[in-house]
Copies of this chain bind each other. A is one copy, B any other.
Amino acid sequence: MADGRSSSAHSGENLLFLTDEQLRQGIEAMFFAYRGFTADPDRILSDMAYGRAHHRAVHFINRAPGTTVNNLLNILGVTKQSLNRVLRTLIEDGLVESKVGTEDKRERHLFLTEEGRALEQKLSDAQRARMRMAFRDAGPEAVAGFRMVLEAMMDREMRKAYTRLKDGI
């Protein structure tokens, strides 16, 4: 982009983008960008008694209403004890509703209450606003590349979870 290297899709080109220096810049870009990525929701959350973990839980419950605790556990990649602490406060505060499964009564299906949806909206509005600006500034081709690289960076399992959510399965 910024340099004069033509971007033909042929393999066997100079591969300058794979030098250690380029890779290190990619690493630092991830580091700094992730800080920006979480900054806005963090600011909102710090005013309440909630943290980033609550945001994640609320996000994925909103994304897949009725999901089970175990499913959420796999997506978030934390221990059940850690998730349970978060879910308990969210349920106590009336943001999340936990319904016993009809088929398998051991399972709990999680839903956002109206209040929960309000918080999710507030948080994701802030995060989407930043993402929208970044996407707009970079343009559609850059966005496609952004997503390709991120997808390739995920662990196998996470890529599956991501694809499942993306395709609404």
Contacts and interface: CB of A to CB of B under 8 A. Distances in A.
Interface of A: 1-2, 5, 7, 9, 13, 15-18, 20, 22-37, 39, 56, 59, 63, 77, 124, 127-128, 130-155, 158-159, 161-162, 165-166
Task: Provide the main secondary structure of the chain A interface.
Answer: helix
A29 B77 contact: no
Nearest to A29: B150
Contacts of A162: 28-29, 32
A143 B145 contact: yes
Contacts of A143: 17, 22, 26, 145, 149
A98 to B, nearest CB: 23
B139 A142 contact: no
A124 B17 CA distance: 17
Nearest to A140: B17
Contact of A37 (B15, B135, B153): B153
Given A24-B128, A32-B159, A143-B149, 7 more contacts: A26-B143, A29-B147, A138-B145, A138-B152, A139-B148, A143-B145, A144-B145
